[in-house]
Amino acid sequence: MKIAVVGAGYVGLVTSTCFASLGNSVTCVDIDEKKIAALKKGKMPIYEPGLEELVRQNLKKKNLSFTTNLKTAVHQSDVIFIAVGTPPKPNGEADLSFVENVARTIAREMTSYKLIVEKSTVPVQTGSWIRDTVMRYCKKNVAFDVASNPEFLREGTAVKDFMNPDRVVLGVDSKRAEKLLTELYKPLKATLVFTDIKSAEIIKHASNSFLAMKISFINAISRICELAKADVEQVATGMGLDRRIGRNFLDAGLGFGGFCFPKDLAAFIRISEKLGYDFELLKAVEKINEDQKKYFVKKIEHALWNVNSKTIAILGLAFKPNTDDMRFAPSLDIIADLQAMGAKIRAYDPHASANAKKTLTKVTFCKDAYEACKGSDCVVILTEWDEFKEINLVKVKKLLAQPVVIDGRNIYDPEEMQKLGFRYFSIGRPTKEKR
Ligand code: UGA
């Protein structure tokens, strides 16, 4: 099939590359000339395991091309995916001006049938807005359909998630759109869920909000566990074995971040409000998440007694492992709070340091975890990269001025840490402190 994907962000880039590797002819469009010039040479704007190799393979096969010219891409394609950004406005609402611009250009340029598929996370009823916009700006009487195909891929495992989805949600309102999308997704052999466009849009919001709710729930339970001297991991295991609950997304930590959950949650609360429903449950999910970050800073303060003038080694800056994405990363808030209290920060992240440097100031960026630990008063784990799980803790202890570890991701075993002679603090697990 001839496909255009508008937007070369996470979703757009992964979608175009994966559709190309499934044998389609894909044009990926973005207004960012620098990004497109780099992509044409196979250079990635983001770190995402497996993506670079796949882009290069498909560029070579000529299944995939990159351009800034949306008009030509519209002429050349039968199916057009809209995967442009929907950034948050100050009130939490999604800014849909990029989506509208793309819809207008498609309308003005199309001369034959097009299936226009929204893939960006958008508020319910955006499909209707796209349809109205295209009808208004279309010069000739050209047939078209609008569909909604929300994306559920996760950063860090994006290619794998796209190629092996739990389900593909397809909101359509015509047989022609249903047929085209069935054909397009056939090679994945996935469960296709056909529904109406509005329900598809809500499935995306409801799914992300539900996952965020699971995380806030277990984080709240972790607080109770600390108060009751119980172990949140044992609780999560016991709960998760119930198939109605499931163990996934029950890892207590220092709060969720990234460009999806915080933004989508705020947007869904706003959408519900506009529709006439006060989604108090989701407001609590947001609040628990904010509190969790603050509580983690308190934990560091408790471990160090006085934070002022202390040197803190931060391991992990990205909002999760296997990505270099720093957008809404909890590390940003936590480091800002520690700096405000007078701490000196030595930080290391395997892939996100370059992006972190754009935002963080007065931080000493180190070449590896050991360099960050050298002479520091404690180590704080903010992202659960594999290399931190496998770190030489004996060496870390020797390098530190004080053997103190505050682990925001529960990557070490409390008993092991105690045996090694660390004062070890984690989330929702009993701390046996020798004083
Ligand atoms: C999330 C969803 O998982 C995807 O399905 C969705 O497509 C995507 O948002 C999106 O809307 O674009 P992503 O933000 O890439 O994906 O990452 P997740 O793996 O979901 O993690 C989000 C945050 O939750 C991270 O900060 C992570 O550390 C945290 N988390 C996750 C926990 O604190 N505990 C958990 O048990 C799981």
Higher pLDDT, 19 or 93: 19
Q: What is the mean pLDDT of residues 60-88?
A: 96
- Cβ atoms 339, 310 nearer than 8 A: no
Residue nearest to atom 12 of ligand 1 (CA): 260
What does the DSSP 8-state code read for residue 258?
A: S
- Cβ atoms 426, 414 nearer than 8 A: yes
- In percent, how much of the chain has pLDDT > 90? 95
- Assess whether pLDDT exceeds 90 at residue 410: yes
Four-way CATH pick for 2-195: 3.30.470.20, 3.40.50.720, 1.10.287.610, 3.30.1490.190: 3.40.50.720
pLDDT, tens digit, 9 for 90 and up, residues 195-224 = 999 999 999 999 999 999 999 999 999 999
- pLDDT range class, residue 92, cuts 50, 70, 90: confident
State the pLDDT at residue 139: 81
Helix (H) or strand (E) holding 186: none
> 67, 77, 81, 65: which is closest to 111 by C-alpha?
77
Question: In terms of DSSP H, where are the helices of 175-325?
Answer: 175-185, 197-228, 232-240, 261-275, 280-304
From 155, 265, 381, give the residue whose CB has the most ligand 1 atoms within 8 Å, as the site to mutate: 155
Q: What is the mean pLDDT of residues 36-41?
A: 97
Domain ranges of the chain: 2-195, 198-435
The architecture CATH gives domain 198-435: 3-Layer(aba) Sandwich (3.40)
Q: How far is the CA of 413 from the centre of ligand 1 (A)?
A: 24
Active site positions, annotated: 260
pLDDT, tens digit, 9 for 90 and up, residues 264-306 = 999 999 999 999 999 999 999 999 999 999 999 999 999 999 9
Written as one letter, the residue type at 166 is: D
Q: What is the mean pLDDT of residues 250-273?
A: 95
- Ligand 1 pocket check for 152: Cβ under 6 Å: yes
- Assess whether pLDDT exceeds 80 at residue 433: no
- In DSSP terms, 65 is beta-bridged to 27
- Assess whether pLDDT exceeds 70 at residue 435: no
Q: How far apart are CA 256 and CA 261, in angstroms?
A: 7
Listing DSSP states for 92-140 in one string gives S-B--HHHHHHHHHHHHH--S-EEEEE-S---TTHHHHHHHHHHHH-SS
Q: What is the mean pLDDT of residues 354-372?
A: 97
- Cβ atoms 382, 296 nearer than 8 A: no
Residue nearest to atom 16 of ligand 1 (CA): 154
Instruction: Dihedral sign for Cα 277, 196, 168, 9, please.
Output: negative
Report pTM.
0.95
State the pLDDT at residue 434: 56
Written as one letter, the residue type at 41 is: K
> 256, 239, 260, 257: which is closest to 248 by C-alpha?
239
- In DSSP terms, 79 is beta-bridged to 3, 115
Q: How far is the CA of 30 from the centre of ligand 1 (A)?
A: 25
State the pLDDT at residue 140: 81
Q: What is the mean pLDDT of residues 171-200?
A: 97
Average pLDDT, the chain: 96
Q: What is the CA radius of gyration of the chain?
A: 24
From 11, 260, 289, 382, give the residue whose CB has the most ligand 1 atoms within 8 Å, as the site to mutate: 260
How many CB atoms neighbour CB 59 within 10 A?
Answer: 18
pLDDT, tens digit, 9 for 90 and up, residues 125-151 = 999 999 999 999 998 889 999 999 999
User: Would the CATH topology of 2-195 be identical to that of 198-435?
Assistant: yes
Helix, strand or coil, per DSSP, at residue 48: coil
Q: How far apart are CA 48 and CA 333, in angstroms?
A: 24
Q: How far apart are CA 98 and CA 104, in angstroms?
A: 10
Q: What is the mean pLDDT of residues 387-401?
A: 98
Helix, strand or coil, per DSSP, at residue 151: coil
Q: How far apart are CA 435 and CA 433, in angstroms?
A: 6
State the pLDDT at residue 431: 75
Q: How far apart are CA 46 and CA 324, in angstroms?
A: 7
- pLDDT range class, residue 432, cuts 50, 70, 90: low
